[in-house]
């Protein structure tokens, strides 16, 4: 994953719902995500360009005359006009837009439960702090006790 240019370090509380499916974290389960290799929504300073030929990035200005923008990364067709409008509205309201693990595809391949460790993702916590979950060479299993890939939490690390 290419680093995000000039991210704004200030903490902003998360919006109340996933920018794509409009569901709350309590409904979707898992964690709030703001970036992974092929999808991102982040506030940035200044202009930037880049991305990958299949995973475009663009920065939408948030306010006229301001260097603050909203970086959107996604494969063609991923960001609908409605999702862009929600992300922009949340950012202008002082909140941090995010997407759920289900919309990001970070779920168990067997049962669809959100993965216990969405490796390689930037996570948004309830207090507005963003952390990066590194990629580790292990199989974290699944949190769903009915799944064949289930591992109790103490065995996931």
Q: pLDDT digits over 26-69, tens only?
A: 999 999 999 998 999 998 886 665 556 678 888 888 888 778 89
- pLDDT tops 90 at residue 83: yes
Q: Which ranges of 66-111 would DSSP assign to H, the alpha helix?
A: 81-92, 101-104
Residue corresponding to tokens 């216990």: 116
pLDDT of residue 156: 65
- DSSP string across 114-153: BPSS-TTEEEE-TTS-EEEE---SS---BS-TTSTTB--H
The answer to whether the CB of 45 falls within 8 A of the CB of 67 is yes
3 state DSSP class of 61: strand
The answer to whether the CB of 118 falls within 8 A of the CB of 53 is no
pLDDT of residue 47: 61
pLDDT of residue 152: 86
pLDDT of residue 57: 86
Q: Where are the beta strands (DSSP E) in 7-117?
A: 32-36, 39-45, 56-61, 68-74
Across the chain, mean pLDDT equals: 88
pLDDT of residue 68: 86
Distant-in-sequence, close-in-space partners of 147: CB < 8 Å, separation ≥ 6: 108, 110, 111, 113
Report the predicted TM-score, pTM, of the whole model to 2 decimal places: 0.86
Percentage of the chain with pLDDT > 90?
Answer: 64
Q: pLDDT tens digits, residue range 108-135?
A: 999 999 999 999 999 999 999 999 999 8
The angle at the Cα of 155, spanning 101 to 124, to the nearest 5 degrees, equals 30
Q: Which ranges of 38-100 would DSSP assign to H, the alpha helix?
A: 81-92
- pLDDT tops 80 at residue 153: no
The answer to whether the CB of 49 falls within 8 A of the CB of 57 is yes
């Amino acid at each position: 994953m290419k680093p995000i240019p000039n991210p704004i370090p200030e903490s902003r509380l998360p919006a109340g719902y996933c920018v794509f499916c409009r569901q709350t974290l309590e409904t979707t389960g898992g964690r709030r995500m703001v970036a992974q290799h092929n999808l991102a929504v982040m506030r940035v300073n200044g202009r930037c360009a880049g991305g990958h030929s299949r995973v475009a990035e663009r920065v939408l200005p948030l306010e006229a005359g301001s260097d603050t923008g909203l970086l959107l990364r996604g494969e063609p067709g991923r960001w609908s006009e409605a999702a862009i409008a929600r992300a922009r509205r949340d950012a202008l309201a002082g909140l941090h837009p995010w997407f759920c693990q289900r919309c990001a595809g970070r779920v168990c391949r067997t049962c669809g439960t959100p993965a216990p460790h969405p490796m390689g993702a930037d996570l948004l916590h309830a207090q507005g702090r963003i952390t990066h979950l590194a990629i580790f060479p292990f199989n974290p299993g699944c949190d769903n006790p009915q799944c064949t890939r289930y591992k109790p939490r103490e065995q996931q690390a």
